[in-house]
């Protein structure tokens, strides 16, 4: 059979999404409920549904698949429910309490502003490794990488024996104070770990210097700890899933989506890199479409069943988070910067007992029991229930009619939980939920955009996720964004991004180069990183000529604690490029903070380097369509009463359109609803939409 398909899979909190790309650029989408008790079941169900849509069965599809790329929530889920391995930590003697002190910010890290206001409830998270499972060993390397105190190998042997035999740990993390500058002591501990005999017991090891070469012992130790905590769970899941796919007929490659936006083989992807792989897929899809459509500044918004994720693309680049917080723990990992709030279709609305106010989120009904309208045990009022009551979602066309929603159950949940306690009618309760969730999402977007020195109106907004287009006009109007793009792939956009993602690895390293600096000093920092990445890419089967590099410098004025990340256009530096690099920084700084904000007399330094190594994989062939005309009547399939909240709550007769019947040039004036099997696009009276040449719905507010 010809190997003609690439499959992207994104396991979300509520649904598992799949995109199948043919070698002709044709796209097939499918969804299946996520199965948290055994995630692989949801993955296989989703692939099976895609196979049915292609007129074949699961073995038939897999036998023709050259590559499967998978983004999963297994690592994140293991941290949320605290079902990881029992971990011990080996660190530099005298610094055993570093991960417990949490740099004095652990009480608030990862909490929302609303949560922080409740001071009595603000506490540190329960440590992954308690004090009794932390062992210090005598050694010391300074910040320049010079050995001051040799590693005491007997301390290491005693620590291993104590942790494994007496504490019964299943995994060990090793993170020494200055291993980022010189990993020699950690590498020696790695050798001792492999020599240590532990009666056949399988022990999972993580080393901070393997995962991060960035200064900051707290976040680097957390990275090693979390990698060890989720490592056995992630390895077991991915190995089991790959074997299952092989048993069903897959002979092509199986790659894992990483939080840095690239895919890697299962053997070369670290467990901690799985974190935020789904949101990273959304950013990759956004970057792909931004390049196709020529959009320099894009806000990506992903509203699924559980959360709402926001990312930014500026000048064609996305950002990596500086010390991203993973389940309240700071880590050093190159994770695409995506901010999330609990705002999805399954987000639960409630009336606050003390104030009588309507609150929405962050708790979610998730896939089980789900919203009340699913009629599988859920009794709380959710955002999806409100959308059904308002008439926005057709209960008979959810998932293209595969799942019948119960409008009566939705109304009962809103009456019981919201309307009667507040003394309002059901429709007002539904409208309140709709507007509050939209405002919550708009606030998150506004904060993200303003923090990087831009205004929302300078961006176009990409709306995706199953629930995103249902609410996009609501949160975009609050921001002053003029154009919204909804794609034919929006319901499974993260899976589409995973399917299109390049293979690659990222390395981030701390350095201190004070400008003006010798060109060879800059090259001396970059070249070893590229050499390491080149070997990793070759090990995954990429020829040297097919590997490309992207380089970024983190630069700042001296004595500043934060810097700007500057894309560097040069592969190697000569003396001519050094002053040009300084000008790039000064220009970027003033672009972000205003003309005259720079202060060159303070001095400029390079404080960090990031290098991405990429191996290109085949991309979808999305071809523009011929212009048909403005008349969209062929796609109209009736009308129904919908209650829109803008400009005020009022019933309107909305024309209903089938998304996949729309053609290039078609125009739609609100009030209207555009439906596809996996999403619903809301067009209030104050909006209109046009179909572009790629069958994207371009909404103007």
Between CA 33 and CA 280, with CA 397 as vertex, the angle to 5 degrees is 45
Q: State the Cα–Cα distance between residues 525 and 86, nearest whole angstrom.
A: 37
Shared domain for 551 and 607, answered yes or no, is yes
Q: Is the preceding omega at residue 392 within 30 degrees of 0, hence cis?
A: no
Shared domain for 225 and 137, answered yes or no, is yes
Q: Which residues pair with 29 in a beta bridge?
A: 19
Shared domain for 117 and 173, answered yes or no, is yes
Element (H, E) at 257: strand 253-257
pLDDT at 367: 67
End-of-domain residue from the set 615, 644, 659: 615
Shared domain for 208 and 243, answered yes or no, is no
Find out whether 369 and 390 touch, Cβ atoms under 8 Å: no
pLDDT at 2: 60
Shared domain for 24 and 101, answered yes or no, is no
Scored b (16 or more CB within 10 A) or e, 95-127 reads: beebbeebeeebebbebeeeeeeeeeeeeeeeb
Shared domain for 19 and 154, answered yes or no, is no
Q: How many folded domains does the chain comprise?
A: 4
End-of-domain residue from the set 273, 301, 324: 273
Q: Is the preceding omega at residue 523 within 30 degrees of 0, hence cis?
A: no
Any idea which residue has 């709030």 for tokens? 341
- Domain of 18 in residue numbering reads as 5-78+236-256+268-273
Q: Which of 131, 107, 135, 127 is nearest to 119 (CA)?
A: 107
133 falls within a domain: yes
pLDDT at 240: 93
353 falls within a domain: no
Shared domain for 159 and 250, answered yes or no, is no
Shared domain for 124 and 177, answered yes or no, is yes
Shared domain for 64 and 175, answered yes or no, is no
C-alpha neighbours within 13 Å on the C-beta side of residue 562 = 8
Shared domain for 604 and 642, answered yes or no, is no
Ranges of residues in the chain with a pLDDT under 70 are 1-3, 197, 199, 367
Find out whether 225 and 87 touch, Cβ atoms under 8 Å: yes
Shared domain for 227 and 99, answered yes or no, is yes
Q: State the Cα–Cα distance between residues 522 and 524, nearest whole angstrom.
A: 5
End-of-domain residue from the set 273, 301, 335: 273
| CB-based contacts of 583-589 (< 8 A; 24+ apart in sequence) | 585/553, 585/555, 588/564, 589/557, 589/564
Element (H, E) at 191: helix 184-195
489 falls within a domain: no
Is 60 exposed, middle or buried (CB count within 10 Å of its CB: 0-12, 13-18, 19+)?
Answer: middle
334 falls within a domain: no
pTM: 0.87
Domain CATH code at residue 73: 3.30.420.40
Shared domain for 119 and 228, answered yes or no, is yes
pLDDT at 3: 67
Any idea which residue has 């729309």 for tokens? 662
262 falls within a domain: no
Domain CATH code at residue 221: 3.40.50
Q: What SS3 state is found at 641? A: strand
Q: Could you give the C-alpha distances from 486 to 153, 465, 668, 696, in angstroms and in order?
A: 59, 10, 14, 6
Q: State the Cα–Cα distance between residues 488 and 407, nearest whole angstrom.
A: 27
Cα distance between the two ends of the chain? 48
205 falls within a domain: yes
Listing DSSP states for 310-340 in one string gives EEEEETTEE-B-SS-EETTEE-----B--EE
135 falls within a domain: yes
Domain CATH code at residue 584: 3.30.1490
Output phi, psi for 131, to 5 deg. -60, -35
482 falls within a domain: no
């Amino acid at each position: 059979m010809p190997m003609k398909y690439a499959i992207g899979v994104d396991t979300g909190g509520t649904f598992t999404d799949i995109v199948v790309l043919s070698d002709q650029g044709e796209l097939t989408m499918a969804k299946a409920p996520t199965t948290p008790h055994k995630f692989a079941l949801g993955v296989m169900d989703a692939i099976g549904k895609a196979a049915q849509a292609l007129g074949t069965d699961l073995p038939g599809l897999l036998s023709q698949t050259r590559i499967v790329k998978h983004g999963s929530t297994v690592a994140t889920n293991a941290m949320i429910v605290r079902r990881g391995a029992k971990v011990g930590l080996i660190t530099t003697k005298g610094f055993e309490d570093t991960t417990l002190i949490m740099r004095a910010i652990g009480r608030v890290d990862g909490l929302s502003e609303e949560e922080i206001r409740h001071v009595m409830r603000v506490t540190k998270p329960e440590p992954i490794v308690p004090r009794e499972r932390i062992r210090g060993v005598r050694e010391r390397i300074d910040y320049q990488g010079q050995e001051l105190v040799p590693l005491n190998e007997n301390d290491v042997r005693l620590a291993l024996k104590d942790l494994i035999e007496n504490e019964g740990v299943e995994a060990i993390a090793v993170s020494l104070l200055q291993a980022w500058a010189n990993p020699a002591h950690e590498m020696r501990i790695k050798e001792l770990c492999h020599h240590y005999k532990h009666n056949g017991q399988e022990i999972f090891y993580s080393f901070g210097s393997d995962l991060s070469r960035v200064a900051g012992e707290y976040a680097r130790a957390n990275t090693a700890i979390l990698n060890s905590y989720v490592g056995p769970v992630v390895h077991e899941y991915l190995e089991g899933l790959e074997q299952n796919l092989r048993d069903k007929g897959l002979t092509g490659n199986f790659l894992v989506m990483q939080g840095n936006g690239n895919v890697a083989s299962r053997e070369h992807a670290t467990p901690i890199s799985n974190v935020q792989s789904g949101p990273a897929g959304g950013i990759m899809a956004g970057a792909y479409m931004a390049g196709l459509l020529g959009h320099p500044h894009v806000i990506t918004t992903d509203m699924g069943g559980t959360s709402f994720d926001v990312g930014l693309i500026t000048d064609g680049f996305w950002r990596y988070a500086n010390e991203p917080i993973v389940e309240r723990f700071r880590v050093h990992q190159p994770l695409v910067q995506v901010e999330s709030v609990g705002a999805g279709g399954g987000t639960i609305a409630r009336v606050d007992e003390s104030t009588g106010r309507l609150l929405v989120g962050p708790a979610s009904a998730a896939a089980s029991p789900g919203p009340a309208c699913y009629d599988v045990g859920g009794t709380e009022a959710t955002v999806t229930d409100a959308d059904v009551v308002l008439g926005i979602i057709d209960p008979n066309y959810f998932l293209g009619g595969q799942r019948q929603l119960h409008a009566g159950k939705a109304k009962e949940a809103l009456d019981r939980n919201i309307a009667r306690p507040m003394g309002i009618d059901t429709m007002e309760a539904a409208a309140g939920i709709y507007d509050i969730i939209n405002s919550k999402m708009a606030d998150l977007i506004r904060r993200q955009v303003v923090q990087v020195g831009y205004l929302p109106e300078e961006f176009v907004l990409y709306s995706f996720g199953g629930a995103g287009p249902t609410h996009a006009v609501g949160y975009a109007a609050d921001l002053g964004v003029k154009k919204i793009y909804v794609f034919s792939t929006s319901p499974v956009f993260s899976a589409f991004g995973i399917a299109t993602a390049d293979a690659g690895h990222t390395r981030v390293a701390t350095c201190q180069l004070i400008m003006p600096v010798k060109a060879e000093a800059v090259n001396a920092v970059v070249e070893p990183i590229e050499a390491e990445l080149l070997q990793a890419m070759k090990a995954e089967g990429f020829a040297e000529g097919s590997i490309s590099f992207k380089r970024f410098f983190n630069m700042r004025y001296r004595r500043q604690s934060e810097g700007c990340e500057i894309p560097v256009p040069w592969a190697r530096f000569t003396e001519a490029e050094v002053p040009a690099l300084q000008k790039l920084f000064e220009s970027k700084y003033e672009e972000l903070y205003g003309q005259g904000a720079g202060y060159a007399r303070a001095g400029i330094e390079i404080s960090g380097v990031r290098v991405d190594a990429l191996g290109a994989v085949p991309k979808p062939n999305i071809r523009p369509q011929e212009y048909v005309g403005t008349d969209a009547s062929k796609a109209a399939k009736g009308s129904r009463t919908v209650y829109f909240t803008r400009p005020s709550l009022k019933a309107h007769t909305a024309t209903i359109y089938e998304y996949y019947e729309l053609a290039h040039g078609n125009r739609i004036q609100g009030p209207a609803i555009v439906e596809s099997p996996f999403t619903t696009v809301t067009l209030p009276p104050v909006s209109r939409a046009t179909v572009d040449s790629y069958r994207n719905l371009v909404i103007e507010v």
